[in-house]
Amino acid sequence: MLRVFESWQMPLAVRVALWVLLWSLPTHPSAGQDIVRNVSVITPYDLMTAEDEFYYHHIYKLTEDADVSNWPLVKSLMGLGGNFLDASELARLANQSIKIDEQRRATKIMDMVKECSQILGVDPPSVFIQGTGEVNAYVTNLTHPHVLVLTSGLVELFQDNPDELKFIIGHELGHIKAQHIRTHFVGRLLYRTMLGKTRSQAGAVTNMMSVATAGVLLHWYRESEYTADRAGLLCVNGDVKTAQQALLRLLHRTRQTNKLMSEGESDFSASLARQDQAELRNRPFVQIFSFATELQSTHPFVPQRCEQFDQWRGSDEYAEIRSREAQSKTAVFIETIEVLGLPKTEFSIPWVDGPEPDPFLELSYAQEHLHTACQPNCTSPVWVAPKLNFAAVEGAGLIIDVFDKNSVIGNSLIGSVRVDIEPKHIGEFDVESPLRLDVLKESMVVDRPLVRVRYKVVDQHR
């Protein structure tokens, strides 16, 4: 999404209440849809970076247990849901933009939208051109059908480079594929809530925690942009040069036919831009300011995004997506999950909840979920055959949330991890990864617990 946070000028209670209404909407991207062009089958998880999938999983869980159903405001708005939340934006589009779905003058743009929609396997959104010199594109509308907005400044800038505009369109449709419209909306509310705490609550520790949480959300925002970039790259047939030039054009904001530019050289060098950025950032104090700017940004810097294209384009993951002819016909069976070295609990009640954790797992894979049994007073638990068996979904990882069961206070999240699942090859596999203890809060534990997973992949048609 090219646009950054919209301004929300409303009381916190109203924003939180609207936030709660979102839980009536779908919470997971749909896995696996048929594509009718050069990518035959693609899932949202094919596009998602590991970090994007990890934080997508947690973004809705941040308030999963919040119960504000008795709030008068929620009662009065319940049932309006996404339609109510979309109304303001749609009213602005209706009065200040032109819908081009059936406008013959905009046939070329609509053909790009339809082609990218086919490649990514999403329903074509309605398209509006907004009359403004601002160079921007974004997708909106929480409910289906979604809406793609292109500013006239963007269309004018890319008029000499239709393939680059196709990348921009594919990038925005990538947000639809990965369900970022909804999670970005929730992220904005969380972000502003966290920053609000730094202003309204006393105490340096509380303020630091709020800023840290907001920083985690912004990190996830940046990861979601890499996901959308992958969608854009697929839409331009893997042409890294086109994708890089599209992003660089958003920096230099000059048209291809600009007469002050050299006629014999049509492109800016992405590698030189990355080199110049690195040279400037390594200067004294510049590195500090650059780092601070990056931490507050919803988008990665363009040179880094250009570098990611080369990495993903040359990966086995990309090659597999482009050569895939059908959805995976394998099934995955989780055989054992072992967690080594869980820390002692931060809060214990004598004779009720002791210092040793009582861990249980929440396992999530694509749209499937499972809770395991609890293992009382155990710092290195093992779960054998937790009965999570599923049809393989290309690109999806297994996300493991480790909870401490508490008798008096609510269950607490100890940590979480995403482990890769490789569904293409038949056999038995072992994978391990350190548990992330700072998902929702800062952790002082240096030696992180290790999570080991053994699973097997079988042909489900045998």
Q: Quote the mean pLDDT of the chain.
A: 80
CATH for the stretch 330-459 = 2.60.40.150
Number of Cβ within 10 Å of residue 23's Cβ equals 13
Q: What is the DSSP string of 374-414?
A: P-SS-SS-EEE----EEE--TT--EEEEEEE--SSSPPEEE
In order of 430, 431, 453, 457, the CA distances from 388 in angstroms are 16, 16, 12, 12
- Give the Cα separation of 185 and 6 in Å (integer): 10
- Give the Cα separation of 134 and 175 in Å (integer): 21
pLDDT of residue 349: 62
pLDDT of residue 60: 57
- Give the Cα separation of 50 and 434 in Å (integer): 14
Q: Which residue has the tokens 């301004």?
A: 7
In order of 66, 89, 415, 440, the CA distances from 17 in angstroms are 11, 18, 28, 21
pLDDT of residue 69: 40
pTM of the model: 0.78
Residue (of 177, 252, 190) closest to 221 by Cα position: 190
Residue (of 234, 239, 192, 240) closest to 217 by Cα position: 192
Query: Residues 457, 429: contact at Cβ < 8 Å?
Result: yes
Tokens for 217, please give them: 């959300």
Segment 42-94, tens digit of pLDDT: 888 999 998 888 888 877 555 443 443 443 433 444 445 556 667 888 899 99
Query: Residues 175, 184: contact at Cβ < 8 Å?
Result: yes
Segment 237-271, tens digit of pLDDT: 999 999 999 999 999 999 999 999 998 888 999 99
Query: Residues 284, 204: contact at Cβ < 8 Å?
Result: no
Residue (of 229, 395, 196, 397) closest to 307 by Cα position: 229
Q: Which residues of the chain have pLDDT under 50?
A: 3-38, 40, 63-79, 197-210
- Exposed/middle/buried for residue 461 (C-beta within 10 Å: 0-12, 13-18, 19+): exposed
Q: List the chain domain ranges.
A: 1-323, 330-459
Region of residue 351 (left: phi > 0; alpha: psi -120 to 50; beta: else) = left
| 423 residue type, one letter | P
Q: What is the DSSP string of 66-130?
A: ---TT-HHHHHHTTTHHHHHHHHHHHHHHHHEEE-TT-GGGHHHHHHHHHHHHHHT-PPPEEEEE
pLDDT of residue 340: 94
